[in-house]
Amino acid sequence: MPETLLSVENLSTVFDIGGGNPFAKALELKAVSDVSFTLEAGETLGIVGESGCGKSTLGRSILRLIEPTHGRVVWQGKSLTDLSVGEMRKARRDLSIIFQDPVASLDPRMNVGKIIEEPLKVAEPSLGRKARRERIEKVMEEVGLAPEMINRYPHEFSGGQAQRIGIARAIVTEPKLIVCDEPVSALDVSIQAQIVNLLKALKERMGLTLIFISHDLSVVRLVSDRILVLYLGRVVEIGPRREVFANPGHPYSKALLAAAPIPDPAIARSREKTPLKGDPPSPINPPSGCAFRTRCPIARDVCAEKLPPLVDVGRGHRAACLFTGDVRADEAIAG
Amino acid sequence: MTLYAGKREALEDAFIGRDDEMPRGKPRSVTRDALRRFRANKAAMTALVVFVLIVLAAIVGPYLVPYDYETPDWEAFTAPPSIESGHYFGTDQNGRDLLARTLYGTRVSLLVALIATTVSVIVGVLYGAVSGFAGGRIDSAMMRFVDVMYALPYILFVILLMVMFGRNVFLLFAAIGLLEWLTMARIVRGQTLSLKEKEFVEAARAAGVSSFAIILRHIVPNLVGPVVIYASLTIPEIVITESFLSYLGFGVQEPLTSLGTLISEGTGAIGSADWLLLFPGGVLVTMLLALAFIGDGLRDAFDPKDR
């Protein structure tokens, strides 16, 4: 049994909105509600969902870049959410993040060396200048950049190169967990493949654990061991990749899979079409009961009354639908 | 270290692929780019040369002129400009050489502007950056304080400060700098609000960098553009303020002089001794125009998109 590296327990992140008006009734936006999962060392968890479903907020809440409102994040047995600011700062050397926009994530006034150096300085203040420089050059080599680029500035690089710099910064402290927040969605497809392969190779080599956030199922499929499907801040399905892709237990996951583009028109045409209608409801005022019921093809009256719990549907696969059986039976007929 | 474990095979190297096409030319920092654009701007460069000449004249000029700014020339009262007498700008009603006085006045005006601008930049940038970065209630409280300061009449402050500092002109202008920072703080705060949402700031937080270090290392350097631009606009503002206060009799006192004092004396002599107004006025106008062009050039250099 591999060790549990990270466990997220009932994590919720609520934003107060309504601006600075102290007289207006404060509105709450539940970006993440009641999310729980565990992550084993060396595992890659893919988090998928539509825009605005709370993927990024979840990733940032785990790292406490956004303070979660409720729940705990337990990292190697100690609760990150209970750490003081100073202790959290120390813990950060094991945790890292890669951002979506590679250029915006690099300070335009710093050269590559300074950018990569920053986390290293915090994590290992005792390291001398020369030793730091060596580490930086080594890490640049690791991510496929020439060490001669060390004096260059971010705007001189292509998107792919900039993302490599971002990755170098993320791995320079030799972290254990990296949250990849849509690391390839701002890149060209050919570059996407490079970056995904680089991440996979680094993961192997350094024994990393990844949380891979993306709305692109084909990318998630490539890297993830397990998949977590998020809808309006709630986990609707979580399970091993193969299981979720082959046999989704929630109508939303099913629709999501059906909507993923297939590069072969013959297969695409023959595929059953279950497009989702409408936009996701507002997270400020979510529907009662199951949040997905407003767009669900199999919704019934009970769905409005009861919040469906996450139930085991076999083989480490859990889904939050009252009619999982129907979803899967339907799938079996169609498949 | 897992990083360099024996697993690193040639195969994997090929698999990762490299992306190390070097950008061409010398490394270009944002500041270097801005300076290059500034140098390409003819109007701004000309203005810069003019301004530097005025500054040089104000610094070394008084030593080169045969007359000093306070000793009357008993041979020449209210003498018009002439080459033979050596009073190139003429003399005033007390027989003092106007060229020496103008050079000295320029020096005083520039010094005052420099002091006040430096004070306002330092206070304004730190206050605005802290306020914007802290956000929430701290930000509201700090900005309401700025609003209150804005609402207080300026002249009242100046009179109060006069009482406090007596006749020390430079302290007075340090204090004026302490009033001038308000606008700077607002500008900086606004910029900080947008900067702190940038991903590179989040990356620094994720690395465990302290808030103070983030402000100094990531926020302030990225404010250079707007701050330089606004500071270049503050200098003429303070020169004018100084002129205005001197005109009212609050500023520099005799026999010391400033451009503002000279101009206010000159206005009294219009018709009888026009040169008393024309020369100091000409210097002030030239200086302000040069500064305006420099400020404009800096804005274009730092924000090429806003042109």
CB of A96 within 8 Å of any CB in chain B?
yes
Flag whether B14 is in a domain: no
Any domain includes B252 = yes
Furthest CA-CA distance within chain A:
68
Tokens of A151: 């004096």
User: Nearest by CB to A174, which of B3, B18, B224?
Assistant: B3
| Overall number of domains in chain B | 1
Task: Quickly state the pLDDT bin for A178 (edges 50, 70, 90).
Answer: very high
From chain A, pick out residues whose CB is under 8 angstroms from the CB of B7: 204-205
CB contact under 8 A, B8 and A205: yes
* Closest approach of A60 to chain B, Cα-based (Å): 9
Count of other CB atoms within 10 angstroms of residue B117: 26
The answer, yes or no, to whether residue A1 has pLDDT greater than 80, is no
Q: What is the pLDDT of residue A282?
A: 81
Under an 8 A CB cutoff, do A198 and B17 touch? yes
CA–CA gap between residue B56 and residue B65 (Å, rounded): 14
Is residue B165 included in any domain, yes or no? yes
Please tell me if residue A89 touches chain B, with a CB cutoff of 8 Å: yes
Mean pLDDT value across residues A227-241: 91
Cα A201 to Cα B13: distance, rounded to the nearest angstrom: 9
Displacement of CA B2 from its chain's centroid (Å): 53
CB contact under 8 A, B2 and A166: no
Q: Inter-chain contact A205–B7, Cβ cutoff 8 Å?
A: yes
List residues of chain B with CB under 8 Å from any CB of chain A. 1-5, 7-8, 12, 15-23, 27-31, 140, 198-200, 202-210, 217-218, 221-222, 224
Closest CA to B283 of B37, B53, B121: B53
Q: What φ, ψ does residue B21 adopt, rounded to 5°?
A: -70, 120
| Alpha-carbon Rg for chain B in angstroms | 26
Average pLDDT over residues A313-331: 76
- CA angle A186/A188/A194 to nearest 5° reads 100
Please give the Cα distance from A267 to B299 (Å, whole number). 56
Residues within 8 A of B (CB atoms), A 16-35 only: 20
Q: What is the DSSP string of B59-96?
A: HHHHHHSSS-SSS--TT-SSPPP-STTS-TT-B-TT--
User: Is A157 within 8 Å of B18 when comparing Cβ atoms?
Assistant: no
- A236 near A37, Cβ under 8 Å? no
Distances (CA, A) of A331 to A253, A254, A334: 12, 9, 5
Which helix (H) or strand (E) covers residue A9, if one does?
A: strand A4-17
Question: A194 contacts in B (CB within 8 Å)?
Answer: 16-17, 19
Neighbours of A282 (CB within 10 A): 11
Q: Which of A101, A118, A197 sits opposite B209 (nearest CB)?
A: A118
Sheet of strand A78-79: strand arrangement: A27-40, A4-17, A70-75, A78-79
Residue of B nearest to A203 (CA): B3
Strand partners, A185: none
Interchain contact, A99 vs B203, CB within 8 Å: yes
Q: Is the pLDDT of residue A333 over 50?
A: no
Task: For residue B297, tell me if it sits in a domain.
Answer: yes
Task: Sort strands A44-48 and A226-231 into parallel, antiparallel or unpaired.
Answer: parallel
Q: A149 CA to chain B: closest CA distance, Å?
A: 7
Contact A320, A309 (CB under 8 A): yes
Rounded CA gap, A107 and A76, in Å?
32
A197 contacts chain B (CB < 8 A) = yes
Please tell me which of the candidates A88, A138, A194 has its beta carbon nearest to residue B19: A194
- The verdict on a CB contact (< 8 Å) between B17 and A119 is no
Subunit contact B199:A92, Cβ cutoff 8 A: no
**What 8-state DSSP symbol labels residue A208?**
-
Nearest-neighbour CA in chain B from A15: distance (Å)? 13
> Could you tell me which of A11, A71, A2 has the C-alpha nearest to residue A209?
A2
Query: Which residues does chain A have within 8 Å of residue B200's beta carbon, measured at their own beta carbons?
Result: 104-108
In this structure, what CATH number is given to the domain that contains residue B145? Answer: 1.10.3720.10
Question: Is the Cβ pair B23, A152 closer than 8 Å?
Answer: yes
Query: What is the spatial distance between Cα A331 and Cα A253, in angstroms, rounded to a whole number?
Result: 12
Neighbours of B296 (CB within 10 A): 17
Asked if B237 and B292 count as a contact pair (C-beta separation under 8 A), the reply is: no
pLDDT, one tens digit for every residue, chain B (307 residues): 333 333 334 334 445 567 767 777 777 777 788 888 888 888 889 999 999 998 888 888 777 777 777 777 767 676 677 766 767 777 777 777 778 888 888 888 888 888 888 888 999 999 999 999 888 889 999 999 999 888 887 777 777 777 776 667 666 677 777 778 888 899 999 999 988 888 899 999 888 888 889 988 888 888 888 888 888 888 878 877 877 777 777 777 777 788 877 887 778 778 777 777 788 888 888 988 888 888 888 888 877 665 4
pLDDT for res A238: 92
Residue B162 lies in a domain: yes
Domain encompassing residue B113:
30-65+96-306
Domain assignment of residue B15, yes or no = no
The pLDDT of residue B11 is: 39
Cβ proximity of A143 and A203 under 8 Å: no
Interface probe for B, chosen from A90, A107, A135 (most Cβ of B below 10 Å), is A107
Please tell me the distance from the alpha carbon of residue A288 to that of residue A299, in angstroms, as a whole number.
13
In-domain check, residue B188: yes
Q: Which residue does chain A place closest to B8, by CA atoms? A: A205
Instruction: Label residues B130-144 b or e (16+ Cβ within 10 Å = b).
Output: bbbbbeeeebeebbe
- How far is Cα A72 from Cα A89, in angstroms, rounded to an integer? 17
Around Cβ A189, how many Cβ atoms within 10 Å? 8
- Nearest 5°: phi and psi at A30? -85, 95
Out of B23, B198, B208, whose CB is closest to A89?
B208
Contact across the interface for B203 and A105, Cβ inside 8 Å:
yes
**Whole-angstrom Cα distance, residue A88 to residue A94?**
11
B81 phi and psi angles, rounded to 5 deg? -55, 135
CB pairs under 8 A between A and B: 129
Q: Is residue B157 part of a domain?
A: yes
Average of per-residue pLDDT values in chain B: 79
Tell me what ipTM this predicted complex has: 0.84
Burial class of residue B243, CB neighbours in 10 A (0-12, 13-18, 19+): buried
